[in-house]
Amino acid sequence: MVEQLLAAAGFRLGTSLVNAVRPSVLLEEHRAEFEAVLARYPVANVWLFGSVARGEDRPDSDVDLLVELAAGASVLDILELDAELGELLGCPVDVVTTVDLKSNELLRHGVERGPKRLAFAA
């Protein structure tokens, strides 16, 4: 009935799923799976930075990861890692590499505000 009234007025009812859990909580809940995903990719070290690392994340925050690539890593590896971690956690994940830091001063400034090495990760 509501949908018919809205349609008659030129509207439609839409729904979307919004994450109500902070990414830091999701990261802790899926820690073992997160570690297993990282182990399948050619990364030497992983650091968490941004709002999650500072303890300031909100449900709409993303997870910012800085990765040091191992020998033989490709751009495709990074894209796949980004997608797989995002799917696992159910929130956006932004994977950047240490190489990216050399050419991006703004990114470098964001990372310098308190990265946390993920000792369990790589």
- For the residues 64-73, what does the mean pLDDT come to? 93
Q: Which CATH class is domain 20-117?
A: alpha beta
Neighbours of 110 (CB within 10 A): 17
Among residues 96, 102, 93, 81, which one has the least CA distance to residue 52?
93
Model pTM score: 0.78
Domain ranges within the chain, ordered by starting residue:
20-117
Of 16 and 44, more confident:
44
What does R_g of the chain's alpha carbons equal in angstroms? 18
Look at the alpha carbons of 38, 43, 49, 50 in this order and tell me if their dihedral is positive or negative.
Answer: negative
**pLDDT confidence tier of residue 54, bands split at 50, 70 and 90:** very high
**pLDDT confidence tier of residue 16, bands split at 50, 70 and 90:** low
Of 106 and 36, more confident:
36
- For the residues 45-50, what does the mean pLDDT come to? 93
Among residues 83, 85, 81, 91, which one has the least CA distance to residue 58?
91
Judged against a pLDDT cut of 60, whether residue 120 lies above it is answered with no
pLDDT tens, residue by residue, 96-109: 999 888 888 878 87
